[in-house]
Structure formats: structure tokens, C-alpha cells
Chains A and B, each alone.
Chain A
Amino acid sequence: LAKILIVEDNEMNRDMLSRRLIRKGYAVVMADNGLKGVEMAASEKPDLILMDMSLPVMDGWDATRTIKNDPATAAIPVIALTAHAMASDREKSLAAGCDDYDTKPIELDRLLTKISRFITLDNNQQAQMRGAA
């Protein structure tokens, strides 16, 4: 299964998003702060990271910079998620090394389209998605 790491401190947001992604055929691992996100990027080797930007311990911008500066994790695509629907946040996220950017509240179809630009589901996962649709 294609694996997504969700880095998000709000438990309900994490839970809602993870369960939707699992239903869509992805494997999901989660971290509740930026530092744990960095550690899990290295240990879990996810295919993609969804990174909230406002995080405790280490914020999403620093976490992304750390991930992108480590050769072992630099190639993992990072999509920034932020509630701040401002152009400056998009620029700031991209400058930190994020590969794409999406705003919260999440619209799942829009986010799935962005995810699919970086990772493609294998045949089994596509069958699972069709079954869930």
C-alpha cells in the first residue's frame, strides 16, 4: 500500500483525515508534532507527507526543512496543510521545501487530486477505491 504520513496535532482532524485516506486505499501513519513527524519520515519512509504547519514542539516549516535537508528523506513529497488561506503561506511553505500546498478546511477530492500527482495507487488499491466509491 502507498503510505501517507499525516503530521497534525489536532486529534479529531487527524482521525477524520486518516480514516478517509484509509477508505481510499492508502496506508496511514501519524505524528502529532513536527519533531515526531521528522522522526517518522525517517523511520516509516512514507510515500508522501501531509504536513500541518501550526504544530507544537517543531512547526511544520521547520519540520519540512529538516526532512528536505536529510538525504534519506529529502525525496519524500510534502504537501503543506494550513488554515491560513494566504498567498504568503503558500510561498513560505514552498520556500521551506514543500512540494505542494492545500488549505484547511480540507476538501477531500481536491486533496486526493494533489496526492495523486505524487503517488499512484497500485491495482489492488485502485480496486479498493472503486469498491469504496
Chain B
Amino acid sequence: MKGVVFTEFTEMVQEKFSADILDDIIDACDLKSGGVYTAVGTYDHDEILQLVDQLSTKTGVPVGALVRAFGEYLFSVFHRSYPQFFTRSQGSLDFLSGVHDYIHVEVRKLYPDAELPAFSYSRPDARTLVMEYKSTRPLAALAEGLIQGCIAHFKDGVSFTAEDLSGGAGTNARFTMVKPA
């Protein structure tokens, strides 16, 4: 997993909680890296799962809520870092429709070894977008948070529902977004 995910996670923990809590959770984990993350590094995705588990233990906030919050936070970072990805989108459904065929293609140009989840799409009607997330990693809640961050960014009143398709494993989920009439 790309180092930027880890550096942004550590930034979020410091911003939303504290630097001491960040140090405490790193100390409580068994991390091959030792927790000295750099944006250009690549780290085992197990490290982010350990960090979130420990943050949940330390703060009492459920893991799913933390991962979703991190997804929302990452979206704001994404917007700040890559404004060029936003110039052609009119709204959240428009933006989300391009994640697989545009955003992920561009991400691979920046990070050729990035391991990205797969998204399939359907448009049951003009107001509705259905995205199905599939990954080898249990990070559907992260995708959910990113989508919620996207909807919050565009402020276009899109409603959102998430449905787990992996028996709680978090590797397969369906997200449905509906534009207001």
C-alpha cells in the first residue's frame, strides 16, 4: 500500500486526536516498518489495519467508523493534491463514474505499482449510480468514506447507501448513490 495513505493517516490521527495517541498506537502495534512512514514508500496493508485496530482500542471509536472517517479525510487530501482530476466533473455521480476508467488510470501513471480495488458500475436510471467494490483487501469502509467525502465535496444532495456483499469481510460491497429529483 502506498506510503501516502500512511502519512495521511498519521496526519489525521494527530489532527483529530493527538500526537501522543499516534505515538501510543504505533507503540502498541507490531509494525515491520516501525511506523516511520514516508509518502514515497510502500508498506504492507496489514500495518494500516493494525493501526486502525489500535486507534479503535485507544479511543473507543468502532473500527468501521474510523476507516470511513479516514476515507472522507483522504478525499479532501485527494482534492487538494490533485485538483486536475476535478476539472471535468459536474457533480458527485459524474466524478464517481470516472473512478475506474479515469482516476485509477491516472493513479497508475503516478504509482505504477499501486494495487487498486476494482469497481463495476450500473446506471439503473438517470438519477442512480450503483458501484460494486471488489478487493483482496478488507477496505470497503475506506471506499465508503471516500464516496461520502466525494458527496460532501460536491454538495449536490446525493443520497448514499452501502451494502456489504462479503459476509462482513469488507472485501466486496455495493454502493448506491441517488441524485435528488
A pairs with B: yes
- Chain A interface (Cβ < 8 Å from any Cβ of B): 10, 12-13, 16-17, 19-20, 23, 83, 104-109, 111-112, 132-133
Q: Which residue of A lies closest to B26 (CB)?
A: A20
For chain B, the count of residues having a C-beta within 8 Å of the partner chain is 20
Given A12-B7, A23-B27, A132-B27, answer yes or no on A104-B33 (Cβ-Cβ < 8 Å).
no
When the two chains form the complex, which single residue of A13, A23, A112, A133 contacts B38, counting CB atoms closer than 8 Å? A13
Contact between chains at B27 and A16 (CB < 8 Å):
no
Contact between chains at A106 and B39 (CB < 8 Å):
no
Give the A-B contact count at a CB cut-off of 8 A.
53
Would you list 24 pairs from A and B whose C-beta atoms are within 8 A, ordered by A residue?
A12-B7, A12-B39, A13-B36, A16-B10, A16-B35, A16-B36, A16-B37, A16-B38, A17-B36, A20-B34, A23-B23, A23-B27, A83-B40, A105-B33, A105-B38, A105-B41, A105-B43, A106-B34, A107-B34, A108-B34, A108-B36, A109-B34, A132-B27, A133-B27
Q: Which of B22-71 contact A (CB under 8 A)?
A: 22-23, 26-27, 32-43
CA distance A126 to B100 in the complex (A): 50
CA distance A112 to B34 in the complex (A): 10
- Chain B interface (Cβ < 8 Å from any Cβ of A): 3, 7, 10, 19, 22-23, 26-27, 32-43
CA distance A10 to B19 in the complex (A): 18
CA distance A10 to B38 in the complex (A): 9
CA distance A19 to B10 in the complex (A): 12
CA distance A112 to B36 in the complex (A): 12
